[in-house]
């Protein structure tokens, strides 16, 4: 866990970038982003005048994930609609 904290802090401080850490440590960008999100969420909660308990933190995380899923679904819908109106893209897919 100490290595994860050190890595996230190095990225947040600008001492390294995620893509460099991915190569150097054999990680994925998703892993690093998940660690960063958890780290920042914990820091935010620590600075609250009344910190959230574990259940509230879990609910907050679920809501964030639901928003992300909703955004991705909207992106997919937009891409589907644009492919209907742009025949050249449809032809390229069919080839």
Name, in order, each residue with C-beta under 8 angstroms of 35's C-beta and a sequence gap of 6 or more: 4, 7, 8
Residue 2 has pLDDT above 70, yes or no: yes
Q: Show the tokens assigned to 26.
A: 């054999």
Contact (Cβ atoms closer than 8 angstroms) between residue 27 and residue 21: yes
Q: What is the pLDDT of residue 15?
A: 93
pLDDT tens digits along 32-79:
989 998 898 888 877 777 777 777 777 888 898 999 999 999 999 999
pLDDT of residue 74: 92
Tell me the pTM. Answer: 0.49
Count of positions (residues) in the chain = 95
Distance CA 5, CA 39 (A): 8
């Amino acid at each position: 866990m100490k290595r994860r904290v050190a890595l996230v802090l190095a990225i947040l401080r600008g001492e390294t970038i995620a893509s460099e850490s991915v190569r150097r440590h054999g990680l994925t960008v998703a892993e690093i982003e998940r660690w960063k999100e958890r780290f920042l969420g914990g820091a935010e909660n620590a600075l609250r005048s009344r910190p959230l308990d574990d259940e509230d933190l879990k609910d907050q995380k679920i809501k964030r994930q639901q928003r992300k899923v909703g955004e991705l679904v909207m992106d997919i819908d937009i891409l589907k609609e644009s492919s209907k109106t742009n025949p050249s893209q449809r032809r390229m897919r069919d080839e």
